[in-house]
């Protein structure tokens, strides 16, 4: 089974993120779930983003990078929204990467290198009318990765919800989350 380093979104390490990790663990995977917010969890996205700005995005990125130290090289990196930053950084720069799962966000490859690493499969998931994913450049970045990377897949879900997979948030979409989970299971089943 696969070893996964999973990063939370701007609300923090919510019960919904823990549930998602537990689902992967029930499938037999090992999931590492670092807390980039050091115990802080926020009710609203605005509160969470304000905290992220206060701490500094560079600090959060470094906390994510450091969370991989001491773990095996052969990891799948996964992140939700804000958590895509460290997940994508590690997927693009850490030797031995087995794959990447980017949920609700995607950065241009140029943020962390010249190209997506050869032989590293990636799945990118987001809603087609999500103001953060579809309207702020993330969808364009995802399409660029898919266009240049043979092992890249982009899945768009109908709707405008940003954090649609987190069962503890009002933005949760049960049907879309179930389909995403099915696709993630298929992706992880192909990782050696």
Dist. CA 144–CA 156, nearest whole Å: 15
Give the residue from 68, 40, 75 showing the smallest Cα distance to 54. Answer: 40
3-190 CATH, one of 3.90.1150.10, 3.40.50.620, 3.40.50.1820, 3.30.1330.10: 3.40.50.1820
Question: How confident is the model over 13-65, as pLDDT tens digits?
Answer: 999 999 999 999 999 999 999 999 999 999 999 999 999 999 999 999 999 99
Give the residue from 108, 60, 67, 113 showing the smallest Cα distance to 83. Answer: 60
Give the residue from 122, 162, 173, 154 showing the smallest Cα distance to 10. Answer: 162
- What are the beta bridge partners of residue 79? 7, 102
> Residue 8 pLDDT > 80, yes or no?
yes
Whole-number mean pLDDT of the chain? 96
Q: Report the pLDDT value the prediction gives residue 13, as an integer from 0 to 100.
A: 97
Domain range summary for the chain, segments of one domain joined by +: 3-190
> Residue 76 pLDDT > 90, yes or no?
yes
Q: Report the pLDDT value the prediction gives residue 102, as an integer from 0 to 100.
A: 98
- Inter-residue contact 160 to 130 (CB < 8 Å): yes
Q: In sequence order, what E strands does 40-91 have?
A: 76-80
Q: Report the pLDDT value the prediction gives residue 20, as an integer from 0 to 100.
A: 97
Q: Provide mean pLDDT across the span 77-94.
A: 97
- Inter-residue contact 33 to 21 (CB < 8 Å): yes
Cα-atom radius of gyration of the chain, to the nearest Å?
A: 15
- Confidence band, pLDDT 50/70/90 cuts, at residue 1: confident
Question: How confident is the model over 108-135, as pLDDT tens digits?
Answer: 999 999 999 999 999 999 999 999 999 9
> Residue 9 pLDDT > 80, yes or no?
yes
Between 192 and 57, residue with greater pLDDT: 57
If you search the block for the tokens 């696709």, which residue do you land on? 183
Kindly compute the dihedral angle of the four CA atoms of residues 113, 31, 122, 143, in this order, to the nearest 10 degrees.
-80
């Amino acid at each position: 089974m696969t070893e996964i380093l999973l990063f939370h979104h701007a609300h923090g390490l919510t019960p919904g993120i823990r549930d998602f990790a537990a689902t992967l663990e029930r499938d037999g995977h090992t999931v590492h779930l670092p807390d980039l917010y050091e115990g802080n969890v926020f009710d609203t996205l605005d509160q969470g983003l304000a905290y992220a700005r206060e701490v500094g995005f560079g600090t959060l990125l470094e906390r994510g990078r450091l969370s991989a130290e001491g773990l095996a090289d052969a990891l799948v990196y996964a992140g939700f929204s804000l958590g895509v930053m460290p997940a994508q950084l590690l997927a693009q720069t850490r030797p031995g990467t087995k794959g990447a799962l980017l949920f609700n966000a995607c950065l241009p490859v140029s943020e962390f290198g010249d190209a997506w690493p050869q032989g590293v499969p990636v799945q990118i998931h987001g809603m087609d009318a999500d103001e953060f994913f579809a309207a702020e450049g993330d969808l364009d970045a995802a399409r660029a990765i898919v266009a240049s990377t043979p092992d890249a897949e982009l899945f768009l879900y109908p709707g405008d919800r940003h954090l649609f997979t987190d069962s503890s948030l009002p933005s949760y979409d049960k049907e879309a989350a179930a389909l995403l989970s099915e696709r993630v299971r298929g992706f992880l089943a192909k990782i050696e």
